[in-house]
Amino acid sequence: MAKAPDNSDQISSGIRGILGRPEVYLFFQFLMNSHGKYRMCIERFLAPVNGKKILDIGCGCADILALLPRDVDYVGFDMSPAYIAYARKRFGHRARFFNRRVSDIDLQNLGLFDIVIADGLLHHLNDAEARDLFRIGFCALHDSGFMFTADPTLVENQDFISRRISLMDRGRHVRSPNAYQKIAKLVFPSLEVHVINNVSNRPQTGCILKCYKLSK
Ligand SMILES: C[S@@+](CC[C@H](N)C(=O)[O-])C[C@H]1O[C@@H](n2cnc3c(N)ncnc32)[C@H](O)[C@@H]1O
């Protein structure tokens, strides 16, 4: 199987290295009730999604697509060749996928999008690449569009287990809600920050940003 490029912003050695295999990653996601999380995100933050054109950066195996309506026009980017190969095999008949890391993304010829998703990506990116991510998202959106991010976070008085889970992540850049927001604000004029405890009934605190292309 092709190996993901070496990326020091993401831990790919030891036990976390096996998460690079799509089947292992998806099994782990199943144990973590990722579909519960996707459902919550779709209903609470992304809806209405019918007929929408969606760009998913850091799409992984694109498992969220299993919960999106058939009429969405979905384009996924990820730096892992193995995840993209898996996504193409499973969803290639209804979506387009590209194997690129954020800094190499070229959106020419793809048109504008209604929604840009970066679910679980920001905490894998250093500040410079995170800023690039928001710039790419901003430029990819229609004026009425928004960008959605969701990441593990560190907050004061966080319970021990939730903090440990955030710190054990493959991504080396788990940040406070303030730090995530600060980077987004370099690009987006208007955004909402949501800190959610026990995301999909697991002991994890998540930080969600909903960033609007135009000031609200
Ligand atoms: C926590 S996973 C989330 C995957 C997917 N969004 C999901 O919800 O299951 C983070 C994803 O970001 C990808 N990734 C990490 N760094 C990246 C980068 N610099 N450019 C593009 N993708 C990256 C990884 O390959 C991985 O698929």
Tens digit of each residue's pLDDT, the chain (216 residues): 344 444 578 777 676 778 888 988 888 888 888 999 999 999 999 999 999 999 999 999 999 999 999 999 999 999 999 999 999 999 999 999 999 999 999 999 999 999 999 999 999 999 999 999 999 999 999 999 999 999 999 999 888 998 988 888 889 999 999 999 999 999 999 999 999 998 777 788 999 999 999 987
Q: What is the CA radius of gyration of the chain?
A: 16
User: What pLDDT score was predicted for residue 15?
Assistant: 67
CB 80 within 8 A of CB 20: yes
Q: What is the CATH number of the domain that holds 95?
A: 3.40.50.150
118 lines ligand 1 (CB under 6 A): no
CB 210 within 8 A of CB 148: yes
User: What pLDDT score was predicted for residue 4?
Assistant: 45
User: What pLDDT score was predicted for residue 31?
Assistant: 86
* Edge-to-edge strand ranges of the sheet holding 190-196: 95-99, 73-78, 53-57, 113-119, 141-152, 206-212, 190-196
CB 111 within 8 A of CB 53: yes
Q: How far apart are CA 117 and CA 56, in angstroms?
A: 5
Q: Which amino acid is at 98?
A: F
Token pair recorded at residue 196: 């959610």
| Cα(100) to centroid(ligand 1), Å | 10
Question: Quick check: is 8 in a domain?
Answer: no
Question: Quick check: is 168 in a domain?
Answer: yes
Question: Quick check: is 102 in a domain?
Answer: yes
Number of domains in the chain: 1
Report the residue among 121, 131, 135, 166 best suited for mutation to probe ligand 1: largest number of ligand atoms under 8 A from its CB: 121
Q: Which amino acid is at 110?
A: L
User: What pLDDT score was predicted for residue 3?
Assistant: 43
Domain hosting 31: range is: 14-212
Question: Quick check: is 31 in a domain?
Answer: yes
